[in-house]
Structure 1
Amino acid sequence: MVSQLSWKVGGQQGEGIESTGEIFSIALNRLGYYLYGYRHFSSRIKGGHTNNKIRVSTTQVRSVADDLDILVAFDQESIDFNFHELRDGGVVIADAKFNPVIPEGSHVTLYAVPFTDIATNLGTSLMKNMVAVGASSAVLGLDINVFQEVVEGIFGRKGQQVVEKNMEAIRAGAQFMKEQLGENLQLMKLDQADGKKRMYMIGNDAIALGALAGGARFMAAYPITPASEIMEYLIKKLPALGGTVIQTEDEIAACTMAIGANYAGVRTLTASAGPGLSLMMEAIGLSGITETPLVIVDTQRGGPSTGLPTKQEQSDLMAMIYGTHGEIPKIVMAPSTVQEAFYDMVEAFNLAEEYQCPVIVLSDLQLSLGKQTVEPLEYEKIQIRRGKLVADELPPLANKENFKRYEITDDGISPRVLPGMINGIHHVTGVEHAETGKPSEVASNRNAQMDKRLRKLKQLKFQTPVHKNAKHEEADVLLVGFNSTRGAIEEAMERLERDGLKVNHAHVRLIHPFPTDEMLPLVQKAKKVIVVEHNATGQLANLLKMNVGHAEKISSILKYDGNPFLPNEVYTKSKELL
């Protein structure tokens, strides 16, 4: 029996690869296993190789597995493309229809199972993916009845006959595979899981759910990979709460519409990826100078331009901090797990209103589309904070002056009113303005307003600006990352520790303003600092050098080929740098 293994299904886009992985993983999740799933897919609607790799464990996992135990292949390309990941003793379960072959001399066992033929005999070849699920269940020693509830949930609306046909396909696949395995029937039988109920969701769903919990009732957005699921989730959920989603004509309209809705008092978000954020930059500046709350989600992907729209990268870091022209206060957050993505979205709305500025929640494709086991969310922890939003009746204004919406204050944050409030009338423009909002180019006023805006974030309170795993007072190496690299770094850290090294880990969750006070002691007490990130220029490493110093200690492990880091890559490259 094994406590952990990795399973992958591969084939052409459009032939049920995603649903195969979904049915397999949802059933395991309901048994209480921890899962981590990552999809490799092509940037086209149909055709092109796609695969879904799922790590199954009796303990928490947060990264893609280094190797592969079981490969389910619907075509030869899936074997050719993924075979190198299979460990010695691994298994290939392939559709016999295409006469599968594996490299000679490999220590991998090939089982040719007639997925298509079995499914066709049962009524339709479309059920070949269910036959594959059944064959997989036999290798893992799973009772096929665990799939009953999942199949009913997916196919129940099509009628009980469809449910039974799909279950019959699973049973047929399992039976055929058991006969093939013979004495190897217990080859990869999984240890029993704890049976606890946990959520299993992609980061985008957690972001959308966090927006709902944080009080968002409007979203304006334009579809783009890998952000579209946020909009799709809220299209289904917001109407029940009196909210709505508008698909705009482009990202410029989405951002300006979000600014308008926030100005009116409705918590609103927009979400996009790098190309869309580029179009939003002028509007983000408008949010900054008008001091209007704004929450934006940036799901990073491979760039530049269209780049690698369905692949992993973390190259928007500098753009999110410095992309706007002029200087405005801005908060950039970077959750590292699906669970953090939920809570950080709630906090993003609070911070946007408290500091009256744009807040960017930075994700990446691996976090946004990768699916993780999530412990039950603690909704009682959620707080709604609206900052200096004036709720009480305002006194009459003297001499018919306007309300001082941009009043100079010690903390840089002015009182805020909603449109229509009696005695709250004021100007709002994108040009520099006096305290009442009236346009002003007076030098002293310009200095006063700029200084006011820029001192807002001096006292920013962010609960966990850096996730720390720093058990050593003096470390041989400090590993640093952000967003989805956390799991690979944590596993590499464990292996380095087994080699006798003292290793600390810091995962940066507040990108801007940079958490210098939290990072400086960790850097000072490490002999070597290694920054792990998905870009070609070491953007996080450069931010660390700019804000913390000690450049002579800092090295980078960079990856920008579109694929996520594997734990062994981080471990091996760290050893090379030490």
Structure 2
Amino acid sequence: MISQLSWKIGGQQGEGVESTDRIFSTALNRLGYYLYGYRHFSSRIKGGHTNNKIRISTKPHRAISDDLDILVAFDQESIDLNAHELRAGGVVVADAKFNPVLPEGVEARLFPVPITSIAEELGTSLMKNMVASGASWALLGLPLEVFNKAVEEEFGRKGPAIVEKNVEAVKRGSEFVLELAGGPLEEFRLEAADGKQKLFMIGNEAIGLGSVAAGCRLMSAYPITPASEIMEYLIKKLPKFGGTVVQTEDEIAAVTMAIGANYAGVRTMTASAGPGLSLMMEAIGLAGMTETPLVIVDTQRGGPSTGLPTKQEQSDLNAMVYGTHGEIPKVVIAPATIEDCFYDTVEAFNVSEQYQVPVIVMTDLQLSLGKQSCEPLDYESIKIERGKLVHDALELEPNELFKRYEFTEDGVSSRVLPGEKYGLHHVTGVEHDESGRPSENAVNRQKMMDKRLGKIKGLQIRDAIRVEAHHEELDLLLIGMGSTGGTIDEARARLEQDGVATGQVTIRQIHPFPTDLLAPYLERAKKVIVVENNATAQLASQIKMNAGYGNKIHHLLKYDGNPFLPLEVYTACKELN
């Protein structure tokens, strides 16, 4: 028996690949397996090759597997594009309709199954996804009743007749492939999972859930890949808590609406990708100047311009840190796990209100859309901290204004909600005095700049860096951010087995940069390799600029639209070491 297995399904976009993956993985999740998924899809609604890959394991993994055990193919293109991943002895379950052929040199077994024909016999070719799922499930020798339960939940709303037909499709696919293979494949039998309940979600859903837990009651946004699932999640959830989602005409309207709502006291967020973030820049400056809380999620994708809308990249870092004109305080944080997506979203709202600054939550496509297992979340640990929000302002003299931007020791002024008695003040995007009145006085200008920028000096979020370093002296220190964390962790484990003293740091607070936390590990390392999905080493540049040690730092960059594989990181490290 084996402890992990990799399964992939491929076909043309719009022919059921996504639903096949969803039901297959949901059933595995019910058995208690840890799952890590990756979606490769085209930037179009229908047509173009797409595939979903799932890593199934009895232990948690946060990386795509290097190889592939089972490939389910709806067309020859899926075989041609993905067969190179198959390990020796792997299996291809293919629709017999297109007379499948394995490429030369691929050492795998081919099981042609009349997937489309079976589905059409049952009434519609749309059910071919269930035929294919049944065939896959049967080869693993897993209990069919668990899979049928997932089918019932998927199609139950369509009535018992539809459920019955889909269950029959699963059964026929299972029976056909077992006859071809002579029974379940013993070499693919998985060890029993722990059976414990696990959440199974994408990062965008965890961000949406985190925003609800944080007290967010309005999301203003414009749809864009790969951020749209946050909006879609909250459309369903926020009304249950008295909130709502507003789809605006563009990202400029979305961010300015979020600023206005936050000024009015409603916890509000917006979410977008790189192109939308570009449009928001002027408004982010407005939030910084008016010291209005603002939470933005940037789900990075391939750029520039429209770029690669459905592919992995981490190239917005510089835009998030430096994008606005002038100088304002802002915070940029980078979740690395599904759990981080939840808890960091809560922290983003708290930090934004405590320091009255824009906070950008930086994710990437793999973390945003890769569905994976995570442990149950601790809702009891959530605290909503609104900072210096005053509900009973001190009585003012006639014609006196509330000092909304009062100079204070920590740089954070009290704020009031509109309509608050004795809370009258000016709000303007031009430079202003303590009560908000426009001012071009040179002394006031410098004091206001120092006040705003000083607010976030020394700020550190929970686990600003996440460290794995068990040696006093490190041959190699690996550094990453976002979804690369799990891949680096797996490569590091292999290096340790080879006798290389390694450490790992996942940087989760990008700005202000956690120099004091990172520097001791840079000092201990002989060599440092920074792993990131961009072409210009943006994270490495931040490290060099803020912490130094440029003579030790080496880059491992990937910007072809695909995530790193553990073997790629391992190989690069071996060559460097």
Q: Is the contact made by 1:479 and 1:532 (CA closer than 8 Å) also made in structure 2? A: yes
Find the residue that maps to 1:9 and give its secondary structure: strand
Distance in 1 of aligned mates of 2:255 and 2:421: 28
* Aligned: 1:281 with 2:271: no
Q: Which residue of the partner structure matches residue 5 of structure 1?
A: 5
Q: Deviations over 1:426-455 (max 9, x none)?
A: 000000000000000000000110000011
Alignment-mate amino acid for residue 250 of structure 1: D
- Tell me if 1:159 matches 2:159: yes
CA distance in 1, matches of 2:325, 2:473: 41
After TM superposition, the structure 1 = structure 2 runs for residues 162-311 of structure 1, keeping only pairs within 5 Å, are: 162-182=162-182, 185-311=185-311
Residue 557 of structure 1 and its aligned partner are, at CA, apart by 0.2
Per-residue deviation, 1:394: 2.1
Counterparts of 2:52 and 2:165, CA distance in 1: 24
- Which residue of the partner structure matches residue 97 of structure 1? 97
Q: Is 2:46 the counterpart of 1:46?
A: yes
Q: CA deviation digits over 1:22-46, x for unaligned, max 9? A: 0100000010000001100000110
* Cα deviation, residue 399, structure 1: 4.3
Question: Residues 345 and 184 of structure 1: is their aligned pair in 2 closer, same or farther, counting only changes over 3 Å?
Answer: closer
Superposed counterparts of 1:415-426, under 5 Å: 415-426=414-425
Question: Equivalent residue for 1:569?
Answer: 568
Separation in structure 2 between the aligned mates of residue 32 and residue 256 of structure 1, nearest angstrom: 44
**Please, which runs of 5 or more residues in structure 2 have no aligned partner?**
none
One-letter code aligned to 2:74: F
Amino acid aligned to 1:176: F
Is the contact between residue 533 and residue 540 of structure 1 (CA under 8 Å) also seen in structure 2?
A: yes
C-alpha deviation, 1:183, in angstroms: 6.1
CA distance in 1, matches of 2:93, 2:475: 44
Partner of 2:508: 509
Displacement, 1:463?
1.5
Q: Provide the C-alpha distance between the structure 2 equivalents of 1:442 and 1:184, rounded to a whole number of angstroms.
A: 80
CA distance in 1, matches of 2:339, 2:285: 30
Match of 1:429 in 2: 428
Distance in 1 between the 2:104 and 2:465 partners?
49
1:116 and 1:195 map into 2 onto residues whose CA distance is 34
Is the contact between residue 141 and residue 184 of structure 2 (CA under 8 Å) also seen in structure 1? no
In 2, distance between residues paired with 1:275 and 1:367?
19
In structure 1, C-alpha distance between the alignment counterparts of 2:64 and 2:29, rounded to whole Å: 17
Query: Given the alignment of the two structures, is residue 440 of structure 1 paired with residue 472 of structure 2, yes or no?
Result: no
Q: Report the CA distance between 1:395 and its aligned residue.
A: 2.5
SS for the counterpart of 1:398 is coil
* 8 A contact 1:405–1:437 mirrored in 2: yes
Aligned to 2:390: 390
Map of 1:315 onto structure 2: 315
Aligned partner letter, 2:278: S
* Cα-to-partner distance string for 1:354-398 (whole Å, 9 max, x where unaligned): 00000000000000000110100000010000000012x222212
Aligned residue type for 1:125: S
Matches within 5 A, 1:36-185: 36-182=36-182, 185=185
Structure 2: how far apart are the matches of 1:526 and 1:101? 50
User: After superposition, where does 1:326-337 map in structure 2 within 5 Å?
Assistant: 326-337=326-337
Aligned residue type for 2:288: G
Q: Distance in 2 between matches of 1:306 and 1:129?
A: 32
What secondary structure sits across from 2:208 in the alignment?
helix
- State the distance in 2 between where 1:151 and 1:365 align: 28
Amino acid at match of 1:143: P
Q: Which amino acid aligns with 1:575?
A: K
Secondary structure, in 3 states, of the residue corresponding to 1:385?
Answer: coil
State the SS of the aligned residue for 1:426: coil
Question: Corresponding residue for 1:410?
Answer: 409
Shift of 1:184: 6.1
CA distance in 2 between counterparts of 1:368 and 1:93 reads 29
For residue 480 of structure 1, what is the aligned residue in structure 2?
A: 479
Checking the alignment, whether the CA contact within 8 Å between 2:140 and 2:184 is kept in structure 1 is no
Counterpart contact for 1:65–1:567, Cα < 8 Å: yes
How far does the alpha carbon of each residue in 1:88-117 deviate from its partner, in whole angstroms, 9 at most, with x for none?
110000000000000244321111011011
Shift of 1:461: 3.7
Instruction: Kindly tell me the number of residue pairs found equivalent between the two proteins.
Output: 577
Contact 1:331/1:359, CA 8 A, preserved across alignment? yes
Looking at structure 1, the residues matched to 148 and 89 of structure 2 have their Cα atoms a distance apart, in angstroms, of 30
CA gap 1:189/1:434 in 2 versus in 1, 3 angstroms: same
Deviation at 1:272, TM superposition (A): 0.1
Q: 3-state SS of the aligned residue for 1:299?
A: strand
Pair 1:324 & 2:324 matched: yes
1:556 aligns with 2:555: yes
Q: 1:457-480: CA deviations, max 9, x gaps?
A: 124241210011111111001000
**Pairwise CA distance, 1:186:** 2.0
Q: State the distance in 2 between where 1:413 and 1:328 align.
A: 14
Unaligned runs of 5+ in 1: none
- Between the aligned partners of 1:184 and 1:448, the Cα distance in structure 2 is 74
Measured against aligned partners, the alpha-carbon deviations of 1:121-180 in whole angstroms (never above 9, x if no partner) come to: 122211111011111011111111111221111110111111111011101111111111
Q: Secondary structure at the match of 1:237?
A: helix
1:545 maps to 544
Q: What SS class does the counterpart of residue 187 from structure 2 fall into?
A: coil
1:490 partnered with 2:484? no
Match of 1:357 in 2: 357
Deviations 1:312-345 (A, max 9, x none): 0000001100000000000000000111100000
User: Counterpart of 1:243 in structure 2: which amino acid?
Assistant: G
For 1:24 and 1:171, the matched residues in 2 are separated by 14
Conserved 8 A contact 2:331-2:358: yes
Instruction: Give yes or no for contact 1:11–1:73 (8 Å, CA) kept in 2.
Output: yes
Judge conservation of contact 2:86–2:106 (CA < 8 Å) in 1: no
**1:139–1:187 contact (8 Å) kept in structure 2:** no
State the one-letter code of the partner of 2:112.
A
* Worse-matched range after superposition: 157-166 or 259-268: 157-166
**Partner amino acid for 1:108?**
A
3-state SS of the aligned residue for 1:193? coil
User: Secondary structure at 1:220's aligned position in 2?
Assistant: strand
**3-state SS of 1:551 partner:** coil
1:433 is matched by which residue type in structure 2? Answer: H
Change over 3 Å in CA distance of 1:424–1:160 after alignment to 2? same
Separation (CA, whole Å) in 1 of partners of 2:281 and 2:10: 39
CA RMSD of aligned residues (A): 0.8
The residue correspondences of 1:341-380 to structure 2 (distance < 5 A) are: 341-380=341-380
Q: Deviations over 1:472-524 (max 9, x none)?
A: 11100100000000111000000111111000000000000000011000000
Q: Distance in 2 between matches of 1:309 and 1:489?
A: 25
Conservation of the 8 A alpha-carbon contact between 1:73 and 1:92: yes
**DSSP-derived class of the 2:360 partner:** strand
Q: TM-score, normalised by structure 1?
A: 0.99
Structure 1 Cα separation of the partners of residues 382 and 164 of structure 2: 43
How far apart, CA to CA, are the structure 2 residues paired with 1:111 and 1:507?
Answer: 42
Question: Does residue 466 of structure 2 align to residue 467 of structure 1?
Answer: yes
